[in-house]
Structure 1
């Protein structure tokens, strides 16, 4: 006997709740809508309709994966970020709401002519900002060719592929500036913290996108050292950080000659973003141009 949409949704919530899934109701809606090939807001409108047999089978398979602690975004193959759907695969970090603080911070400043996204992964940062700034152009780098393929797919899907260059390189090696804005959500989890991550993160996000090893600050040291040569005068560097890393990252930028650093908190009030400018570079360029 077939189940109605409402019955299937209730059963899915019960199964996920019994498995200890935190947002069982939300995940059930995502998975049922995906199985049926409809948007989540339609579920309530068709609650009395029967769920097709093939959709019930797909839902059962999806629930089994979620109960095994595979993230919903990995199961359905996409993640909503800053109001847009991004394709995600095992080759890229699953974009998170925390990173939207970086986007909001970037959008508070003037639109750049040219931006650089270091370690782009899914392309969520670069693609989002190019979509918000229709006259901007960008470069996105990654050391993973597979990740760049996903970023390229998202750029194509969201209509910015003609304004985004994808480069296989380590941070900004071999790049030519200037860039008005440089952004990154680098790996920042320390080696010691890795074992304590939730299974959804530890077993499903690429390890290289999570941790650089050691104290987790290695990527910031490289970014602070490498980006000054390609940053335009009065340009900004904006990086996402772990919530306990604010003062350490500020000190890294200070020690490498950066000025005007500031910390930005996320909606939970936790340190989430560091912004820095390099007035010393601007002064040097001005002297050389005289």
Structure 2
């Protein structure tokens, strides 16, 4: 329904009326699961969770106005995480902003791969995250490997500051530092684990991305160059000087890029240990180490 059919909830409107209007607006805007998203926006406005909505019938006028504004932003395809300022990743609740990519469940595949590859927690003492964004990969790894320390690097100063705030909020700031730098240009020394979720969308495919991504997330974190592999070339070339002797690098990859990674690894004296699929069955995490000659 459009606004001229389903009237905008006025002063005194109850929660159910507001949710009905919100769901209709999001449905007409093409948002997936519009009723649930309307409820999530209402929960955000009321500072509760979805279960907490069950105990509410009425909302105040300031809350109604805030909800209408939030729905209109989401109907314009602004990401939910930008409206709420938060996103969940692994066991963490992270602050988000337009300065970084929004953490996604697919990226948790990299943490799962590390836990399988290094199940003994004492096996990881140091972690480097190149292109750290919100800090999600580094902080999730440190939350699991409690004896480890880490470094997160992002070329965008706003992103590095955001990652540092997330580290403080997670109680992990004493075990990591966040730097603003171009990949590993400021890094010396080696690490047991090197993460990266670099830009990997081929430039010609950017226009076809969902508007939530194309119009609101930073292009520098999406644009992987002509073939989507520009960052991987730079990163694999740098890896031999960053990886400890028995270290592992775990990179997120895009659709079809599992076919290109073995040759890039070989050119830098590396080998592929494993390639892990995400929950959708798409190859998502590539694990590399120093090549071991027969």
Q: TM-score, normalised by structure 1?
A: 0.92
1:114-133 alignment to 2 at 5 Å?
Answer: 114-133=126-145
Asked whether 1:9 is paired with 2:16, we answer no
Asked whether 1:180 is paired with 2:192, we answer yes
Provide, for residues 206-233 of structure 1, a one-character-per-residue CA deviation record: whole Å limited to 9, x for no partner: 1101113221101111111101112111
1:10 CA drift (Å): 2.5
Asked whether 1:204 is paired with 2:216, we answer yes
Provide, for residues 219-263 of structure 1, a one-character-per-residue CA deviation record: whole Å limited to 9, x for no partner: 111111101112111110000000221111222112322124321
For 2:17 and 2:190, the matched residues in 1 are separated by 57
Number of the residue aligned with 1:40: 50
State which of 245, 257, 266 in structure 1 corresponds to 2:269: 257
Query: Is the contact between residue 119 and residue 140 of structure 1 (CA under 8 Å) also seen in structure 2?
Result: yes
| 1:267 alignment partner, SS class | coil
| 1:45 alignment partner, SS class | coil
1:20 CA drift (Å): 1.7
* Unmatched 5+ stretches in structure 1: 284-290
| 2:208 alignment partner, SS class | coil
1:21 CA drift (Å): 1.1
Moved more, 246-255 or 147-156: 246-255
Number of the residue aligned with 1:30: 40
1:113 CA drift (Å): 0.3
| 2:127 alignment partner, SS class | strand
Asked whether 1:51 is paired with 2:25, we answer no
Provide, for residues 69-106 of structure 1, a one-character-per-residue CA deviation record: whole Å limited to 9, x for no partner: 10111111111111321111111111111101111111
Query: Is the contact between residue 187 and residue 208 of structure 1 (CA under 8 Å) also seen in structure 2?
Result: yes
Query: Is the contact between residue 177 and residue 230 of structure 1 (CA under 8 Å) also seen in structure 2?
Result: yes
1:57-68 alignment to 2 at 5 Å?
Answer: 57-68=65-76
State which of 75, 78, 85 in structure 2 corresponds to 1:77: 85
* Unmatched 5+ stretches in structure 2: 1-10
**Runs of at least 4 residues of structure 1 off by over 4 A?**
none
Query: Is the contact between residue 270 and residue 289 of structure 2 (CA under 8 Å) also seen in structure 1?
Result: yes
Asked whether 1:18 is paired with 2:20, we answer no
| 2:189 alignment partner, SS class | coil
| 1:195 alignment partner, SS class | helix
For 1:228 and 1:43, the matched residues in 2 are separated by 52
- In the alignment of these two chains, the number of paired residues is 279
For 2:242 and 2:190, the matched residues in 1 are separated by 5
For 2:263 and 2:202, the matched residues in 1 are separated by 17
For 1:230 and 1:104, the matched residues in 2 are separated by 22
Query: Is the contact between residue 233 and residue 279 of structure 1 (CA under 8 Å) also seen in structure 2?
Result: no
Number of the residue aligned with 1:159: 171
For 2:140 and 2:85, the matched residues in 1 are separated by 18
For 1:137 and 1:45, the matched residues in 2 are separated by 43
Moved more, 108-117 or 4-13: 4-13
Query: Is the contact between residue 120 and residue 148 of structure 1 (CA under 8 Å) also seen in structure 2?
Result: yes
Query: Is the contact between residue 262 and residue 272 of structure 2 (CA under 8 Å) also seen in structure 1?
Result: no
Q: Superposition RMSD on alpha carbons, in Å?
A: 1.4
For 2:39 and 2:256, the matched residues in 1 are separated by 34
